[in-house]
Amino acid sequence: MKLLFDFFPIILFFVSYYQASFLVENTFIGKLIDPTRPDFITATIVATGIAIVASFVQVAIHWFKTHKLERMHLFSLALITVLGTITILLGNPAFIQWKPTVLNWLFALVFLGSMFIGDRPIIQRMMGEHISLPEPVWSTLNLSWVAFFFVSGAANLYVAFYYNLGASDEARMDTWVNFKLFGLMGLTIAFVILQALYLSRHITEDDLEKSTENNGEKQ
């Protein structure tokens, strides 16, 4: 469920991109759109605006439920607000296409920097209260997140600006929108599964009991 919640703005971006013509024809959004622009530019502007609103809603819901603000949501909100606003004002999809790469590479830098700044890697600070692992395992786990964020950012950059250059701008935009949801989500799910398999080799029964107790206290 948390994965779906984290992808909530991306899912709405995907849906509104492909339903943009309906939204333009049947809602107030149509009055805000320049009808002379190509359909895929209009769809990008509509989807970006909705994704910005969805990101604010995401942060608000998380704060309402936990009275905490999650850094990943805040970073994503800041980037999509800045880059998305530029995309809407200029009608240029390139700015919103950079957002996943900038966000993933920012996280890669934060995770990598945590191995040199502070007493513990950031993944250990996030998960250390639930499980106990040897220091080398924490380091390996943290570096795997660095690699994942870097690869995800690079993959987004490739699909957005270098893949299928001979196709029309609209076809290439459609490809990126599909990758943004299914490709990046697929990479995330695959990585989480591999991480769980790796952790299963090191987690003890005491860790499982500790994690269950912590989850019970939070409910």
**Between the CA of residue 94 and those of 83, 122, 181, what are the distances in Å?**
9, 31, 17
3 state SS of 29: helix
Q: Which helix (H) or strand (E) holds 121?
A: none
Domain match, 86 and 102 both: no
Which structural domain range is residue 85 located in? 1-92
Domain match, 24 and 118 both: no
Domain match, 126 and 204 both: yes
Quote the pLDDT of residue 216: 47
| pTM, rounded to two decimals | 0.87
Nearest-angstrom CA–CA distance, 120 and 114: 7
Q: Do residues 199 and 131 touch, judged by C-beta distance below 8 A?
A: yes
Quote the pLDDT of residue 70: 84
Domain match, 125 and 69 both: no
Domain-ending residue, one of 38, 72, 92: 92
Residues 190-198 have a mean pLDDT of 91
Domain-ending residue, one of 92, 127, 143: 92
Residues 174-181 have a mean pLDDT of 96
Domain match, 130 and 85 both: no
Domain match, 106 and 147 both: yes
Domain match, 165 and 181 both: yes
C-alpha closest to that of 131 among 53, 192, 205, 72: 205
Domain match, 28 and 106 both: no
Angle at 180 between CA 175 and CA 186, to 5 degrees: 110
Domain match, 48 and 107 both: no
Domain match, 44 and 147 both: no
Q: Do residues 138 and 124 touch, judged by C-beta distance below 8 A?
A: yes
Please count the structural domains in the chain.
2
- Tell me the pLDDT tens digit for each residue of 114-171: 999 988 899 988 887 778 888 888 999 999 999 999 999 999 999 999 999 999 999 9
**In this prediction, what percent of the chain has a pLDDT beyond 70?**
91
Domain match, 78 and 105 both: no
Domain-ending residue, one of 53, 69, 92: 92
Domain match, 160 and 195 both: yes
- Tell me the pLDDT tens digit for each residue of 209-218: 444 444 444 4
